[in-house]
A and B are shown apart, each in its own frame.
Chain A
Amino acid sequence: MATAAPALALDDITCRFAARDGGGAYTAVANATLRVGVGEFVSVVGPTGCGKSTLLNVAAGLLEPSSGAVAVFGEPLRASSGVNRRAGYMFQADALMPWRTGLDNVVAGLEFRGVPRSKAAAEGEEWLRRVGLAGFGDRYPHQMSGGMRKRLALAQTLILSPDILLMDEPFSALDVQTRQLMENELLALWAEDKKSVLFITHDLEEAIALSDRVVVLSAGPGTRPIGDFRIDLPRPRDVSEIRMTPAFLALHKEIWAAMKEEVLKAYQRQKAA
């Protein structure tokens, strides 16, 4: 990366949550430092419940960290003065407005920015076509399948052309086939204009198949990155085919070795609780 400032820089982030039921405060994330370069696709993997989403919410400006600093293209981000305006966020849970049709959901962001209705609708139709939902614009979310809703959410986020894309296990609720289709679509859309992506997942295979770099988080509480692996697989990739290549398997083996202990730790802790 030639440019000085990374797209997203989380510096020494600590997030403590006040205890709810009389116990001590819970430290979800401790002293985490993470960087996403301009145009870089970074995946963050870690055991369940380790505070991956917390980290993403900090990057989005939805959550103020207890300590540490966030910088977006070199400019400091403060959650108290608004969300990260240069980022788009794709949530794990369904975040579409059930009372809006597909098209109205896609153009919501343009509408909030005051784009005239006719121009927004034209752009919305174009995005529906790009995510393979042409002709479904007048359907309500409840009339769509899980995969269609995810594609709709993707269009809703990408229509604003954010410089940074934050994704929180966006495809975890999908079946394996739909998921691989969506991953390929995401890669194709990303290849068009190389956004900076921070992709959260608990699925190591998904992380390797998609990313330039994979960051492994430790088990919670007090999550922080413990491993950083460069993925130098050739692009363009096909996620279902690349899984069979020896290079992929070698990387998988290497990263899994780093991750395994943390996954077991998280599992033991959950069993004890």
Chain B
Amino acid sequence: MKLRVLQFAVLAVLILLWHVFTKPGLLPNFYFEADNRAAFFFGEPAKVFWVIIDWFTSFEIFQHLGVTLLETVLGFVIGAVAGLAVGLWLALSDTASAVTEPYIKGLNSMPRVVLAPIFAVWFGLGIWSKVALGVTLVFFVVFFNVYQGVREVSPTLLANARMLGASRGQLLRSIYLPSAMSWVFASLHNAVGLAFVGAVVGEYLGSSQGVGYLILQAEGTFDINTVFAGIIVLTGFALVLDALVTLVEQRLMTWQPRASETEKV
């Protein structure tokens, strides 16, 4: 509780500083030659606040936010499932992993954001070009974690399951998958963030709706307050998505030991 108060105090101080330094005429000029220059470059918190309020009260934001979130969730789900499937396949097949290794490495080290214009050509300016970008970003994070997770399954655990009569499919379901899941969840926070990046960058490069589109529009008219409002709304929802992942993680990973766990008698 005390921690929460302190956290909000930090936020309040930051907003206050922002306000004091950008409000025209409040402080004497010490860097810019004109009064309203600071506000032009950095926006004003009060105005940013009203932009956000206006977005939500006029319901204008919901359509854009909905599109961005849909792109994020689709990119995340498709990328994570594909990463899981390919990761399992390559980790369990030595030949396939040896053959594809240089390609995987190459694709991973490529700056994949440059694919965005190509995706726009392939999939058009609708949501799918953004989803595709998100998928390429999410896929590799999940893929590498699944691959690692399967490769590091305890040999004793495997031998034990085989002695208990597990078939190949049962080994996959009872040993490889749960073992890989703990690695996957470690990467999901990262992956959600990347899916968001994919969606917003995609919108930014060409779209007709979405929060990235709103930001792009505002930049075109030097409306810096709206740009900041867009960034803040995006940040807020990124935090919400992250919290959702944490929630799912806690539900699914109850078996993991936590530090110094005791029970109330």
Q: Is the CB of A62 within 8 A of B162?
A: yes
Taken together as a complex, chains A and B put the C-alpha atoms of A85 and B179 apart, in Å, by 25
Instruction: Give residues 63-113 of A contacting B (CB, 8 Å).
Output: 83-85, 87-89, 91, 93-101, 108-109, 111-113
Main secondary structure of the interface of B (DSSP, over half): helix
Taken together as a complex, chains A and B put the C-alpha atoms of A84 and B161 apart, in Å, by 13
Residues in A neighbouring B160, C-beta threshold 8 A: 89, 91, 95-96
Q: Is the CB of A97 within 8 A of B164?
A: no
Q: Is the CB of B170 within 8 A of A62?
A: no
Asked if B238 lies at the interface with its beta carbon under 8 angstroms from chain A, I say no
Partner of B163, one of A87, A96, A100, A111: A87
Main secondary structure of the interface of A (DSSP, over half): loop
Partner of B156, one of A84, A94, A142, A160: A94
Asked if B159 lies at the interface with its beta carbon under 8 angstroms from chain A, I say yes
Asked if A29 lies at the interface with its beta carbon under 8 angstroms from chain B, I say no
Taken together as a complex, chains A and B put the C-alpha atoms of A96 and B164 apart, in Å, by 11
User: With contacts A97-B175, A142-B257 known, is A108 near B164, CB below 8 A?
Assistant: yes
Asked if B208 lies at the interface with its beta carbon under 8 angstroms from chain A, I say no
Instruction: Give residues 46-62 of A contacting B (CB, 8 Å).
Output: 57, 60, 62
User: With contacts A91-B160, A95-B159 known, is A112 near B175, CB below 8 A?
Assistant: no
Q: Is the CB of B163 within 8 A of A83?
A: yes
Asked if A156 lies at the interface with its beta carbon under 8 angstroms from chain B, I say yes
Residues in A neighbouring B178, C-beta threshold 8 A: 97, 99
Q: Is the CB of B159 within 8 A of A91?
A: yes
Q: Is the CB of A91 within 8 A of B255?
A: no
Residues in A neighbouring B172, C-beta threshold 8 A: none
Asked if A140 lies at the interface with its beta carbon under 8 angstroms from chain B, I say yes
Taken together as a complex, chains A and B put the C-alpha atoms of A109 and B163 apart, in Å, by 9
Asked if B174 lies at the interface with its beta carbon under 8 angstroms from chain A, I say yes
Partner of B164, one of A57, A99, A109, A142: A109
Partner of A89, one of B159, B166, B256: B159
Closest B residue to A95 by beta carbon equals B160
Taken together as a complex, chains A and B put the C-alpha atoms of A143 and B255 apart, in Å, by 9
Asked if B220 lies at the interface with its beta carbon under 8 angstroms from chain A, I say no
Q: Which residues of A are interface residues toward B (Cβ below 8 A)?
A: 57, 60, 62, 83-85, 87-89, 91, 93-101, 108-109, 111-113, 140, 142-143, 156-157, 160
- 7 interchain pairs (CB within 8 A)? A60-B159, A84-B163, A100-B255, A108-B164, A112-B166, A140-B255, A156-B164
Report the 8 A-B pairs with minimum CB-CB distance, sorted nearest first.
A95-B160, A109-B164, A142-B257, A89-B163, A99-B178, A99-B255, A112-B165, A93-B156
